[in-house]
Structure 1
């Protein structure tokens, strides 16, 4: 009967409630509208807590996207698509994105289980990639021993390729499709096996390209300069001090210093982290009151000086923990990588890397899922002040008119940018509910990428993908086949549209193609496929048809709105 003066309660379903609510507020001019992100002024530590788990997540997501694409390409050439194994992998990835697992706020036993699950699906994913590339490679017409390189990204890629050197090859030498010899550098592979690297130009979008592998000794150009205090290539000149930090990063292309005058880059900063509540959930703003620079350098040594890349290793000590950074500079890539290993043994510490850059801007741009957002670089208001720690995916960028700096990463999410100081949060080690949070070994990469113009002009989106998405390479013996030496499965005619997903449809042998717009730019898009298309249907993310799309042989066109996500089903 209800209580007089109180609202009446009626049992029903959530669907019924929201349908009734929709009718109640429909066309109401009093209904408030929010524009922009809904920033939660709380739980900022969840961007960073349990860093190893977050790394597993990032690597697994990209691995299974790559698996879907390569398996789809192999399916078009007669191979079976391993849908059951791919779906099982995604289900495990999604399970571990559950609250509180991925935020880093679960108990210790959860992460023991999670680690086992991630390692299992990563093993399965790598095996599926190997089967797909093996199946494709076996059908390529190769007249000589070759390195077949697979680019799973949807744009032309110029990047470094790593391959395992066959035992019968003493001096690996790469020859491209124009007969030009490419510099090759022998390095130690991740598994300790003898590997080699070379810089490949023009890897086709969502496709492959074969390079001839020869055994020939060549004296390559060694124009890069490297020592324990100085690194230099055609893009940068870097000075390193006795604390292992950069006192100068001079951008040769833009003829300007990247760092603020008198400041040092790549400072590793340790802060006391004792939030008032929720150890592994929160970072409170007063963490900045107590900071120690990690500057106890134990060793600096040059480990590589070759025609493709140079490497300086810096080893530091912080209390009982060890931090080892391999700093890479490349002959043909305008980016500096900090490949980092940490054996961490501390509690109640937030660890950051800082770059005070000489860029004037009152806002910074941060990548999020399928887009990016701008946030202030000042604390003018309480809302600005509250965003002292923000999240980003593969990159954060600070740009002024004509010049900018991007801070890239391969598995980190916490950032702060204020007064020109760009910082990325590396570790956060609270003690509740997991008393040993982050007390383990960590591996990650972050990078500095300076560019002309803003992040759009500088190609930061593509550079972020290149840091995160590996190139796959297989050495193939000569054999006959029906496939050409280079092939692009699918591509678009514009830089601001990224094809993220290529997979088999859940309920048919059609292909699902998902893409998004990343520049906030309305664009007329043309998609080109490598063979004639029978039918194209625009669909939603559940792969349900919305409307047919006109097809012109192997292409179709449409308009995409700013930051819009589009999904299409292709019948080949």
Structure 2
């Protein structure tokens, strides 16, 4: 019997011959492709000659290969002027098909493997994105983290992290994307000593589409380069702009900012990548870009892995081939900088969004998308309240933000994860709710502490009654912000406005153990004016009785507060009235609304002053619900079904709250400042139900809607994917440019022909006269087809999570009717206000000297919106972020209260100083802003 050792020895010549034959085969294929690139007329004959030598070989393979390569030598000399830059990588999906603990283990194993290979192969380089993976190694495997730090210092381990995760670029808010850059830059500077200039690359190969404003945001975060793969048109989706995408191009934001984008030529994971001949896609790149350098990203990914010995040794082998481009190990930054150093004026410029990819992900896993929106809102509100009350909550807020940022990973926020993904995401959101709720609660106490609320109860012996414990913890289920209040004959509330413009909006409060007669409750302001309230409900809660009332806080100062006291009294303030008429008709100061008690929603809408009719007739309803059922086509979390069946959801119960009945007849009489229309809907063929409440009032031409959905449906391959959506028909308006909010901006899209499209807080339909705006508090997926706008609410995908939606959901949206054209800045303010309701902080009855109403920051420029007011990360002053939304160069004017500071400077998103003019006299701040751009300003003492 032949020994294993002798077998190996005998096989060596065969293996060597195979290696040589693979080599010459790759060289010949490359030479043929390369000849078409250069157009050299002599090369085809050389290639034909060399091919004949190899194919006619009857002796030593090595001799034939050497002879063929000698013939091809002129081609080899020219080829060495072109270079393939090999960058090792290991794509690590955060909590995709696995739990958090497996994510930690996957990251550890990948990094341990890379470090071992670096010890064995001195020329090996490796690139890794995502600050989160470094942070978890620091926490769970500090010794391994220390070795990574050493390799980074050597320049062999490249950090490509400018975001906390490789996140979604359509569903995250502008402020979230700004915080990705801020906190990631902080981390990489602190742990690795890397400045923004050391990290100019945003690494996003697997992100499912990219909003139009991303270049604008990246430019202010010090990012010059972009690496991506999914840039629209995948899975037969509609595509915006040029297709197929160029391999290398400038991507331009609405303000003119640019980043250099390399669209991955092959793929970012080796096992679905190139094959043996890595030079063939390189030649295509050379031809299309007129460049001589190509980036080859290799390594096993998704579940980690990184480069393998087989890959490394093969790449080292190709570097020795004479008829081949130069092959070298390098970094992605090195490749981009080498390319950018040349003349790139010939590259195409794309100035639009790069969508669409995996459009089912705009609605899949609605609990996660709702948690994302709520978490973003809570963080912004908490940091502003901390800043204006002088609280230093930077560490807690950083933790709260990073929880939200982590959940924006491209397989978490888009809902394409397993059950454990959702569970971990919701736990992080709850922690953010607790952190921000506590900060807001303490800030609310600080706002109230010095106020002279005793004026609301002159002569009463109730001083210091705040916090007796009634209703402990009420309202804190999601946000962590409780609204408990003590007893007494008056109940003071500090009503806080998170937005930087005055607002008149509804406030709902729950009053415990008052003994108040609901019909006599008023909201008394600081001038002793009694505003009417609207009784909502009463009940008992953990041994306490309560009553819920709604009132309209009027002209609450910008980024400020106004104090009211709830008590018994006689109304002394006239408010806009709503009149209830027969046939479910309501007249408001703005016009007439008629509800459909059978199909739900509005069946008629007329604007009084302008005479505009938004909807008329009994055939369609504005805001009608429908059950949808998608035909499954695989990857149900990602991809919408090939065809959709729909069925109307009809009303099973209808009544109006607030109507005074006329002596038992069916005709309502009297007037009121508000009514609530309640409709119950049974989803046909299911056990699911919907309860919808429409708030009608006379303060604005809008109807605010709250829907409570008891959803019990599970999708499967036989029955498809059940879901819900709400329709808003505008027949005769096909092809209208519909405006959707994007991060720090907006985008106009025409009829999407049934394609699902992403949007943030608002969607605006311009009509011949006026327009219609749909506001929402947690939805991201919309459709425009044949003049119909639809908002998708729920879809029960079944893989990889088999039952993600079975629970009770609550969503809010608002239908707003305009009698004029509306600017993007106006729409942004409406969306922000709807997502940041007025906050009522309970206060005690006390003596004090503080003003009962105050504004801390007000933006006076119509096209500019303040999106953030926060304490600076280094503790020195506050940072204001001002965004221009209407596409016009302007000067932002902001009025600040005393105490913020006396000096102002411009900063980037990392809060580092940049050049530029800012005028500030301690009260009025003036700063130029380019059209569709934004500025960050530091105000210090």
Q: TM-score with structure 1 length normalisation?
A: 0.91
Aligned equivalents of 1:562 and 1:401: distance in 2? 27
8 Å contact kept, 1:225–1:233: no
**Match among 901, 909, 919 for residue 541 of structure 1:** 909
Aligned length: 555
Secondary structure (helix, strand or coil) at the match of 1:433 reads coil
Distance 1:498 1:563 in 2: 11
- Compute the displacement of 1:215 (Å): 2.0
CA distance in 2, matches of 1:89, 1:302: 41
Q: Cα distance 1:272–1:47, how it changes in 2: closer, same or farther (>3 A)?
A: same
Distance between the aligned counterparts of 2:337 and 2:605, measured in 1? 58
- Determine if the alignment matches structure 1 residue 294 to structure 2 residue 643: no
CA contact (8 A) 1:321 1:343 kept: yes
Aligned to 1:31: 347
Query: Is 2:445 the counterpart of 1:134?
Result: yes
Partners of 1:258 and 1:358 within 8 A in 2: no
CA distance in 2, matches of 1:16, 1:457: 40
TM-superposition CA deviations, 1:308-356 (whole Å, max 9, x none): 4211211111212111111221231321122111111222123211111
Is this contact kept in 2: 1:270–1:294, CA < 8 A? Answer: yes
Tell me if the contact between 2:879 and 2:939 (Cα under 8 Å) persists in the aligned partners: yes
CA contact (8 A) 1:228 1:300 kept: no
State the 1:217 CA deviation. 4.3
Any idea what the Cα deviations from partners look like across 1:138-184, whole Å, max 9, x if unmatched?
02233423332111101111111223336346133223344432111
1:183 to 510, 528, 532: 532
Change (3 A) 1:359 1:483: farther
More helix by share: 2
Distance 1:134 1:292, change over 3 A: same
Write the distance in 2 (CA, Å) between the matches of 1:466 and 1:61. 14
Cα distance in 1 for partners of 2:418, 2:594 equals: 43
Alpha-carbon distance between aligned partners in 1 of 2:784 and 2:372, rounded to the nearest angstrom: 25
Aligned residues of 1:352 and 1:425 also touching (Cα < 8 A): yes
Question: Structure 2 unaligned runs (5+)?
Answer: 1-318, 457-491, 660-670, 716-720
Cα 1:191–1:116 shift into 2, 3 Å: farther
> Per-residue deviation at 1:276?
2.2
Say which of 568, 577, 580 aligns to 1:215. Answer: 568
The alpha-carbon deviation at position 554 of structure 1 amounts to 1.8
Kindly indicate whether residue 874 of structure 2 is the aligned counterpart of residue 493 of structure 1.
Answer: no
1:150-229 matched pairs, under 5 angstroms: 150-165=496-511, 167-168=513-514, 170=516, 171-188=520-537, 193-218=546-571, 223-225=578-580, 229=584
How far apart in 2 are the matches of 1:283 and 1:258?
31
Equivalent residue number for residue 428 of structure 2: 117
Q: How far apart, in 1, do the equivalents of 2:832 and 2:524 lie?
A: 26
| The 10-residue stretch of structure 1 (87-96 or 394-403) with the greater mean CA deviation from structure 2 | 394-403
Task: Give the SS at the match of 1:455.
Answer: coil
User: 3-state DSSP class of the match of 2:854?
Assistant: strand
| Mapped partners of 1:464, 1:400: distance in 2 | 19
What's the offset of the Cα at 1:188? 3.6
Tell me how far apart the structure 2 counterparts of residues 307 and 117 of structure 1 sit (CA, whole Å): 43
Match of 2:376 among 61, 64, 67: 61
In the alignment, structure 1 residue 512 sits paired with structure 2 residue 879: yes
Question: In the TM superposition, what are the counterparts of 1:227-238 in structure 2 within 5 Å?
Answer: 229-235=584-590, 236-238=592-594
Q: Does residue 1:264 correspond to 2:621, yes or no?
A: yes
Is residue 2:896 matched to residue 1:529?
A: yes
| 3-state DSSP of counterpart to 1:10 | strand
Q: Which residue of 2 aligns with 1:565?
A: 934
Q: Secondary structure at the match of 2:399?
A: helix
Distance 1:316 1:35 in 2: 44
Which residue does 1:352 correspond to in 2?
725
Whether the aligned pair in 1 keeps the contact of 2:450 and 2:848 (CA below 8 Å) is yes
* Cα distance between partner residues in 2 of 1:471 and 1:339: 17
Deviation at 1:460, TM superposition (A): 2.7
SS state at 1:9 partner: strand
- CA deviation after TM superposition for structure 1 residue 525, in Å: 1.6
**RMSD (Å) for aligned C-alpha atoms:** 2.5
Inter-CA distance 401–256: structure 2 relative to 1 (3 Å threshold): closer
Distance 1:267 1:212, change over 3 A: closer
Gap change, CA 1:562 and 1:64, over 3 Å in 2: same
SS state of the match for residue 451, structure 2?
A: coil
- 2-side partners of 1:102 and 1:510: how far apart? 33
Q: Is the 8 A contact 1:344 1:439 kept in 2?
A: yes
1:458-477 → structure 2 map (5 Å cutoff): 459-477=826-844
Partner of 2:920: 551
Q: Distance in 2 between matches of 1:190 and 1:553?
A: 50
Q: Quickly say closer, same or farther: Cα 1:472–1:245, change in 2 above 3 A.
A: closer
The alpha carbon displacement at 1:213 in A equals 4.0
C-alpha distance 185-56 of structure 1, shift in aligned 2 (>3 A): same
Displacement of 1:439 in angstroms is: 1.9
Alignment of 1:421-440 (within 5 A): 421-440=788-807
Matches within 5 A, 1:382-401: 385=753, 388-401=755-768
Q: Using a 3 Å threshold, how does the CA distance of structure 1 residues 6 and 165 change in structure 2: closer, same or farther?
A: same
Partner of 2:4: none
For the 8 Å contact 2:445–2:843, the answer to whether it is kept is: no
CA shift in 2, pair 1:415/1:191, >3 Å: farther
Shift in Å, 1:374: 0.4
| Partner Cα separation in structure 2 for residue 3 and residue 92 of structure 1 | 49
Correspondence 1:64-103 to 2 at 5 A: 64-75=379-390, 80-103=391-414
What is the SS of the residue equivalent to 1:122? helix
- Is contact 2:746–2:824 with CA below 8 Å preserved after alignment? no
In the TM superposition, residue 537 of structure 1 has moved relative to its aligned partner by: 1.0
**8 Å contact from structure 2 (residues 872, 938) kept in 1:** yes
- The Cα shift of 1:301 comes to 2.1
Equivalents in 2 of 1:438, 1:212: separation in Å?
41
Report the Cα distance in structure 2 between the residues aligned to 1:189 and 1:64, rounded to whole angstroms.
32
Deviation at 1:64, TM superposition (A): 1.1
CA distance in 1, matches of 2:452, 2:855: 16
Instruction: State the distance in 1 between where 2:443 and 2:540 align.
Output: 22
Tell me by how many angstroms 1:504 deviates. Answer: 0.9
Paired residues of 2:612 and 2:769 also in contact (CA < 8 A): no
- Report if the CA contact (8 A) 2:783-2:789 is conserved: yes
Contact 1:257 1:358 in 2 (8 A): no
Q: Deviations over 1:427-455 (max 9, x none)?
A: 11111000002122111012211102223
Structure 1 residue 53: Cα displacement: 1.3
Shift of the 511–231 alpha-carbon distance from structure 1 to 2, 3 Å rule, reads same
Match of 1:314 in 2: 679
Judging changes above 3 Å, is the alpha-carbon distance between structure 1 residues 250 and 472 closer, same or farther for their aligned structure 2 residues? Answer: same
The answer to whether the 8 Å contact 1:399/1:453 transfers is no
Could you tell which deviates more after superposition, 329-338 or 137-146?
137-146
Q: CA deviation at 1:528?
A: 1.6
Q: 1:401 to 1:179 in 2, by over 3 A?
A: farther
Structure 1 contact 527–557 (Cα < 8 Å) conserved = yes
TM-score, scaled to structure 2: 0.56
Partner of 2:25: none
Q: Please give the alpha-carbon distance, in whole angstroms, between the structure 1 residues aligned to 2:413 and 2:628.
A: 23
State the SS of the aligned residue for 1:165: strand
CA distance in 2, matches of 1:188, 1:70: 30
- Helix, strand or coil at the partner of 1:118: helix
Of stretches 142-151 and 500-509 in structure 1, the one that deviates more from structure 2 is: 142-151
* 1:254 corresponds to: 610
Counterpart of 1:380 in structure 2 is: none
What is the DSSP-based 3-state SS (H/G/I as helix, E as strand, rest coil) of the residue aligned with 1:49? coil
